[in-house]
Structure formats: structure tokens, C-alpha cells
Amino acid sequence: MTEKVELTPELLRELQLKQLDMLVYFRDFCEKNNLTFYLIGGALIGALRNGGFVPWDDDVDVMLPREDYEKLYKLWHEQGADGRFRLLKTDRDMFTGNIFMTVTDTNYTMVKTNQAEVDIPHGLVLDVFPLDVCPDSRFARKMQYVWTMLYSLFLAQVVPEKHGGIVGAGSKVLLSIFRGKKLREKIWRTAEKHMVKYRLDKNKCVTELCSGPHWMKIEYPKHIYSGVDYVTFEGIKMPCMSGYDEYLRMVFGDYMQLPPVEDRVPHHDIAYLDLNSPCEIYDSKRKNKQK
């Protein structure tokens, strides 16, 4: 599976429409359990600019305040919501390669290139991110960066491709020194406790610690997320942060303007895609091959 799947406009649109089932299921679960979540990124831009998916977008991202993010995983499994739609995160029983949670639609098969060798259900994916508080103190904020980088490194257990120089070299050294599974888990759990310890009522800004190195440096005034608004996404009512315009302008600038033609492409490398077969069939075949 070294070749990248070519997403024709027709195939991409079919993929998008199938992802809607997962988004609606997620919305209904959150509403039922009084969990706040927001449509973010390209999906939010698409709702405002296109009334749905951006024509070249290949996924949907959502975000929950950290407290609700943690409740989500607990409630999802307590209520037996893992059926067709599975909520996945790295823990003692599973390694996903992600530093955030994902919902997977097992009715279909999609294997991302960077996860081709990871033993998880390879279905269509909804990325679920936490919204965290960042400290007002500059020193504490720098320490939050450090704890987040340690968390990301030892949870994902791989050096991000874009990390070169001292950070990349240092990450490789740390992974080579701390090899044991239990030791790595202890490190990332300790790092997580330190990076998420700040309270919203005592600090001015929030941030995206689990969205990657670029996003974790952005500090959003907390008033952006002080309430919930709604947008129409593919004819469906979806929640977003009340300060969505300020949020989008901070991140994307004039988000209502189309990007250059060369940037109007899907952003994920897909190694395998089958929108007619459940992912268990692919996983079973792969495991049989390995035996």
C-alpha cells in the first residue's frame, strides 16, 4: 500500500456524504449527554462559505472543552455506544498513533498512509480534539509547551515528519532511551496532567494542545468560546463557538475568500479506500497476511 488513492471529485463527494452519518451520530450523542462541542477548521469554513463541505476537503474536525472531552470517552463506553461508530484513543489496550480521539465508522474502509501498519479499525474518521486552557504566565506557558511536546512524543511514539534540527534529534534520543511501554505511558500520563492543569476561571486564553505544534502556539481569548452558535452544514444544524468569526480570522485570515488553486486539494494521504466494505474485512485480511 505505497500508492496514494486518487480522490476524484465524484469519489470525494461520496466520501463526504458518508461522513455525515458519523457527524450526526456524534452530535446526537453529545446533545443527549449535555456535552458541548464545536465544528472547527475547514468544516466550519465550509458551513459558512459553501453550506457544507469545502469541495476539496476530505474530513471533519470537532472540538470539545477538556472537561467534556474527558466525559465523552467515559460516557461513550458506559452507554455502549461502540457499535458501528467506535470512539478510539490510545490507552493501555490500544495504540492509535494519534494524540487525540477519533470516531471511526466501521461500515467502510479507509486506511491513512501514516496508519497503515497500526492495528486499529480502519474506517472513515471524525477527528475529536480537546480545547485546553493556557496559563497567563509566560514561563508557565513555555513549560506547557514542553509538557505537551513530551506528551505528544511518548503517546504517538514517533517523531513528527516536520520536526527537524534540535527538536527532531532530541526526540529521537528520548525515544531511544525510554523504550519500555509502561515507562512511556508513565511519561505521557505525567506530562498530560501538567499540561491540562490550568483553569478557565483563572486564565484569559484557551488553546489547542492536541492539534499539533503549530496550533498549540495559538492563544484564543476565552470569550470566543463563551457560548454556542449554530451553522447549517449540508442541511443539518451544527454547533460552533459563538465567536466563530474571530476564531476563523485569527487562524485563516479572510476565510470567505477561496485559497489559491494549488491549495484546493485534499490534505490527507489515503493508502486504501473502499466505500462498499466494512473495515473489519480489511483488518481480517491484513492479520491473516501477517500470520
- 116 plus 235 within the same structural domain: yes
- Determine the pLDDT at residue 281: 66
| Position 124 in a domain | yes
Nearest to 218 by CA among 204, 205, 228: 205
List the CATH number of the domain containing 64.
3.30.460
Nearest Cα neighbor of 19 from 143, 113, 127 is: 127
Q: What is the pLDDT of residue 1?
A: 45
Residues 32 and 144 in one domain: no
Q: Are residues 184 and 286 in the same domain?
A: no
The mean predicted confidence, pLDDT, of the chain is 91
Task: Examine the domain organization and report whether 177 and 225 are in the same domain.
Answer: no
Last residue of a domain, one of 148, 176, 197: 197
Q: pLDDT tens digits for 26-83?
A: 999 999 999 999 999 999 999 999 999 999 999 999 999 999 999 999 999 999 888 9
Which three cell numbers mark 83?
A: 457499535
Residues in CB range of 245: below 8 A, 6 or more apart: none
> Amino acid identity of 255?
Y
Residues 59 and 145 in one domain: no
Q: What is the pLDDT of residue 82?
A: 87
Residues 104 and 230 in one domain: yes
Number of domains, the chain? 2
pLDDT at 179: 73
Question: Are 118 and 152 in a shared domain?
Answer: no
Enumerate residue ranges in the chain where pLDDT < 50.
1, 291
102 bridge partner residues: 88, 127
Q: Is residue 4 part of a domain?
A: no
- Bridge partners, residue 134, by sequence: 205
Which residue has cell 495504540?
95
C-alpha cell at 228: 454556542
Residues whose CB falls within 8 Å of the CB of residue 181, separated by 6 or more in sequence, listed in order:
none
* Domain carrying residue 156: 138-197
- The pLDDT of residue 93: 85
Residue 251 lies in a domain: yes
- The tens digit of pLDDT for each residue in 148-169 reads 999 999 998 876 655 555 566 6
Same domain? For 119 and 50 the reply is yes
Q: Let me know if residue 3 belongs to a domain.
A: no
Shared domain for 176 and 237, answered yes or no, is no
Q: Is the pTM of this model over 0.75?
A: yes
Judgement on whether residues 91 and 73 belong to the same structural domain of the protein: yes
- According to the model, what pLDDT value does residue 169 have? 66
77 with 218, same domain: the answer is yes
Structural domain contains residue 202 = no
- Domain assignment present for residue 175? The answer is yes
Residue 45 forms part of a structural domain: yes
Q: Are residues 105 and 51 in the same domain?
A: yes
